[in-house]
Structure 1
Amino acid sequence: MSSDNRIVRVIKGRRPKVVVIGGGTGLPVILNSLRKQNADVTAIVTVADDGGSSGIIRNYINVVPPGDIRNVLVSLSDSSPSFLDIFQYRFDSKDAFFAGHAIGNLIIAALTEMRGNIFDAVQTLSTMMNVDGHVFPASNEPLTLNAEFMDGTIAAGETEISGQRKQIKHVWVTDTDTPEETPQAVPPVINAIQEADVIVLGPGSLFTSILPNLMIKNLGEAVCQSHAELIYVCNIMTQKGETERFTDAEHVRVINEHLGGKFVNTVLINSEKVKPGDLDYHKYDEYLLQVKHDFAGLQKQCDCIISDNFLSLHDHGVFHDGDKVATEILNRAFQHINK
């Protein structure tokens, strides 16, 4: 962190307010780095997941799927490493119910029943876990993701949509329990967006982690009406059943089209090549090829393109370098504050 950045913080007398919207495995890396670099972070997390342990718990006791929320809580928590290890522990028991479940998912589900809703449950748990920042479920109710494909067919549910391996035309969300009602984000979510210096989308699955949040009517409207800079952290790899053969410009085009205008201001793209052997395709079987660059297309979709080596290789996977991405996000936030 440069001395200039520290001076800006002193002059302004507050931490930059960064709202990060998404879900999936890429989000916690960015959040943790933003926290380390002293940002005032609010994570708005998707509640439309229907896969894995989260999906099974959702089907059993009808709560918002907790998996993404669990990982985000850990990324912003100041709790002891031993506690976080327990919270993240996943049963390997052969028991029909516990096998594969993370303890944290069960705790979130239990607190949701105790508090009566997922939002209050997560706020209680945030206090217990000494979370530095805010973790807000995008909706207080479980949502179902719906998609129309280019061939006119329709599918519902994240797993079903990606499993079709078809090109997606657009997505929308419905209330799982009362489909006739329009999904809404709770007031603290909207307030955080309105007060943000920058709003960050991703990294994460375009159609199943990022767009489900923006398709919540009042949440998407708040993003479009915000004076904050809207930053998209483009994925490094294309994803099976979602963004096959997509360029970086096509990722941004889809976001803008779903928002109904040219709203993305800045795009962060990785310039480093992913080499053969960098990625274990058996372990990370949802990934396909590296996202190709289309700078001419990007210039039509956004105002600023930041291209750098954002690649981090570990656990036989391809990830964003959280510290580098966080630094660029905060640089944009400081510029916004100083306008």
Structure 2
Amino acid sequence: MRKPKIAVIGGGTGISVILDSLRKKDVDIAAIVTVADDGGSSGELRKSLQHITPPGDLRNVLVALSDMPRFYEQVFQYRFAKEDGPLAGHPLGNLIIAGISEMQGSTYNAMQLLTKFFHTTGKIYPSSDSPLTLHAVFTDGREVSGESQLAKHSGMIERVYVTNTYNQDKPVASRKVVQTILESDLVVLGPGSLFTSILPNLVIEEIGQALLETKAEIAYVCNIMTQRGETEHFSDSDHVGVLHRHLGQSFVDTVLVNIEPVPKEYMTSHQFDEYLVQVEHDFAGLQEQVPRVISSNFLKLEKGGAFHDGDAVVEELLSHIRVSS
């Protein structure tokens, strides 16, 4: 029997937890990574090197899927000190990805080269080969442009969409992204920020349509904590409702939700100030929207934050996968 084909869609920090556990399994992995980040190092590089997609999320995914020695990882992830002038705050890996993207003529080509160089388990595709700008329309009608700007505005987000940053062309998916989704046995969304890590991929029309057409099982790994400026007061059912509303119909088959309580005294707000409270569990609301709800202990308390236990999530995902012929 062939290896199960699994596509994981989202942003680098969130899905890296799942990818790190998946690469230890006998599966065929493809990571589809958002390119709408315009904050921090990625944002600065976007200003300096136009037409290069932001490298930060891709860097984290590359590390998660690589078998590089720990020292190499530390070198790749090294961030220049704040007193280092124009290099201040840039991880070395971001500069490498940006440089090779320029050399190879596209970020897609750069990632194919780097996956070989770092011996990754699986493929890595930017969701688009052009840098994208994320736009959010709030329920009161206001519109905000730029991923990094969303959390600065109060109110509820009604919907998001993306545009090409440097031209008026319609955003399109990178090569092999649509084919990967259509040929997968399992597509995993998240974990990660709903409006800024997951949806920027799904609202690229080709990707959204592929998710509606694929025969793959589509699983959503719901966030453990709500996020300031994005999902305040959200239940797990609310998260799924937003996904379905953006694609115009129900498409998620399975939802994984953590039901293990996060100790109130545990969260250190100075480290993770974007997190608010634990996402409320609405089992009845989920049952109305998806065929399968998996409620379990997926919690991992680490470094003052509440994260997903990647191994527990992957074991649950693989236990339900069906390999098509």
- Using the size of structure 1 for normalisation, the TM-score is 0.94
How far apart, CA to CA, are the structure 2 residues paired with 1:297 and 1:286?
26
Tell me the equivalent position of 2:165.
Answer: 176
Alignment of 1:194 with 2:177, yes or no, is: no
How far apart, CA to CA, are the structure 2 residues paired with 1:54 and 1:240?
21
How far has the Cα of 1:96 moved from its partner? 2.2
Residue of 101, 108, 128 corresponding to 1:119: 108
Unaligned runs of 5+ in 1: 1-11
Q: How many residues align?
A: 324
SS at match of 1:301: coil
Alignment of 1:257 with 2:245, yes or no, is: yes
Tell me the equivalent position of 2:224.
Answer: 236
How far apart, CA to CA, are the structure 2 residues paired with 1:303 and 1:54?
38
Tell me the equivalent position of 1:9.
Answer: none
* C-alpha RMSD over aligned residues: 1.1
How far has the Cα of 1:64 moved from its partner? 0.8
Tell me the equivalent position of 1:5.
Answer: none
Describe the superposition over 1:212-233 as per-residue Cα deviations: whole angstroms up to 9, x where unpaired.
0001111111111000011000
Tell me the equivalent position of 2:156.
Answer: 167
Tell me the equivalent position of 1:282.
Answer: 270
How far has the Cα of 1:191 moved from its partner? 1.1
Alignment of 1:318 with 2:302, yes or no, is: no
Describe the superposition over 1:175-208 as per-residue Cα deviations: whole angstroms up to 9, x where unpaired.
0011x21101123111110110010000000000
Residue of 49, 52, 58 corresponding to 1:69: 58
How far has the Cα of 1:93 moved from its partner? 4.8
- 1:64 maps to a residue whose letter is T
Aligned partners of 2:127 and 2:177 also within 8 Å: yes
Tell me the equivalent position of 1:337.
Answer: 323
How far has the Cα of 1:338 moved from its partner? 6.8
Tell me the equivalent position of 1:328.
Answer: 316
Alignment of 1:78 with 2:67, yes or no, is: yes
Tell me the equivalent position of 1:271.
Answer: 259
Describe the superposition over 1:310-329 as per-residue Cα deviations: whole angstroms up to 9, x where unpaired.
00011111100000001111
How far apart, CA to CA, are the structure 1 residues paired with 2:24 and 2:267?
27
Tell me the equivalent position of 2:133.
Answer: 144
How far apart, CA to CA, are the structure 1 residues paired with 2:142 and 2:294?
37
Describe the superposition over 1:148-201 as per-residue Cα deviations: whole angstroms up to 9, x where unpaired.
1000111100111221122000000000011x2110112311111011001000
Tell me the equivalent position of 2:145.
Answer: 156
Tell me the equivalent position of 2:99.
Answer: 110
Tell me the equivalent position of 1:219.
Answer: 207
How far apart, CA to CA, are the structure 2 residues paired with 1:165 and 1:268?
28
Alignment of 1:207 with 2:233, yes or no, is: no
- Using the size of structure 2 for normalisation, the TM-score is 0.98
How far has the Cα of 1:300 moved from its partner? 1.1
Aligned partners of 2:36 and 2:147 also within 8 Å: yes
How far apart, CA to CA, are the structure 2 residues paired with 1:299 and 1:110?
47
- 2:123 maps to a residue whose letter is H
- 2:60 maps to a residue whose letter is N
Aligned partners of 2:12 and 2:61 also within 8 Å: no
- 2:85 maps to a residue whose letter is A
Alignment of 1:248 with 2:236, yes or no, is: yes
Tell me the equivalent position of 1:293.
Answer: 281
SS at match of 1:220: helix
How far apart, CA to CA, are the structure 1 residues paired with 2:89 and 2:269?
21
SS at match of 2:100: helix
The structure-2 alpha-carbon separation of the partners of 1:114 and 1:271, relative to structure 1 and needing over 3 Å to count, comes to: same
Tell me the equivalent position of 2:118.
Answer: 129
